[in-house]
Amino acid sequence: MKLILLGAPGAGKGTVANMLSEIDGSVQISTGDILRAAVKEGTELGKKAEGFMKAGDLVPDELIMGIMKERLKEDDCKNGYLLDGFPRTIPQAEQLQAMLEEMGEKLDAVVNLDVPRDVILDRLTTRRTCTSCNAIYNVKSKPPKVEGVCDECGGEVVQRDDETEEAISSRLDVYNEKTAPLAGFYEKEGMLMTVNATSSDAVVAAIKDKCGLAA
């Protein structure tokens, strides 16, 4: 499967990508995870991205395209990929299209995960993330077995810096202004599939159906 997962922060892109990846081996590529790892390691990329991320702003397109040009050429992308959090602006989408054309590749679909704002706010303020393997938890619906410790890898489970109420509100504004227009962009291309994403299981079922994967 080669998919773009579109949707506001907290719409469940990461969860859905994870579930799909287990089904058919497509690799999940999250630009947010790549950037957080770079910040943690203190690389040049991380130093450039950190301020934007903490403020809930987008990292400049040039940096993101630099990452993705390399990432999509890696071997594990041959089995398919699930783009989670990329593209996030029209220029990123245009450059991705040019890149895919050059590589002779075609996406199966662009899935727009539609979730009401109040559900998103609740999900994000209660979300916790493993700093080592990026596993996602929720203090209400899916807490780790031991508080603060990842069930998968034993890493530290924390609230992300950009998941304070102030940063979340800014991220949602940025989403509405810069990323939401991508739905129109891909609709014109005839690639958009919008799904009610209140339940991740229902989203996965709809995508499997669309992509012809066995139930």
Q: Mark whether 160 is an active-site residue.
A: yes
- Which residue's CB is nearer to ligand AMP, number 132 or number 208? 132
Specify the residue, 33 or 187, whose C-beta has the smaller distance to ligand AMP.
33
From 2, 36, 123, 171, the catalytic residue: 171
How, if at all, do strands 127-130 and 27-30 pair?
unpaired
Report yes or no: 127 and 10 within 8 Å, Cβ to Cβ: yes
Name the segment binding ligand AMP (CB under 6 A); options: 29-37, 69-77, 104-112, 197-205: 29-37
The window from 39-47, 50-58, 115-123, 135-143 that contacts ligand AMP (CB under 6 A) reads 50-58
Q: Is position 71 annotated as part of the catalytic site? A: no
Residue 111 forms beta bridges with which residues?
Answer: 5, 193
Cα–Cα distance measured from residue 124 to residue 101, given in angstroms and rounded to the nearest whole number: 35
Q: Say whether residue 85 binds ligand AMP (CB under 6 A).
A: yes
The reply on whether position 52 binds ligand AMP by CB under 6 A is yes
> CB count, 10 Å around CB of 142?
14
Applying CB under 6 A, the site for ligand AMP has a residue count of: 19
Q: Which is nearer to ligand AMP, 59 or 204 (CB)?
A: 59
86 binding ligand AMP? (CB under 6 A):
yes
Torsion sign (Cα): 37, 41, 46, 51? positive
DSSP characters over 18-66: HHHHHHH-PEEEEHHHHHHHHHHHT-HHHHHHHHHHHHTPPPPHHHHHH
Determine whether 127 is an active site residue: yes
d(CA 117, CA 17): 21
Q: Which stretch binds ligand AMP (CB under 6 A): 30-38, 40-48, 183-191, 200-208?
A: 30-38
What are residue 123's phi and psi, to 5 degrees?
A: -60, -40
**Can 88 be counted among the known catalytic residues?**
yes
Binding map of ligand AMP across residues 142-171, x = CB under 6 A, - = no contact: --------------------x--------x
Catalytic residue among 2, 36, 88, 123: 88
Tell me the HSE value of 107 on the side-chain side, using a 13 A CA sphere.
23
- Known catalytic membership, residue 128: no
Interacting residues toward ligand AMP by CB under 6 A: 9, 30-32, 35, 52-53, 56-59, 64, 85-88, 92, 162, 171
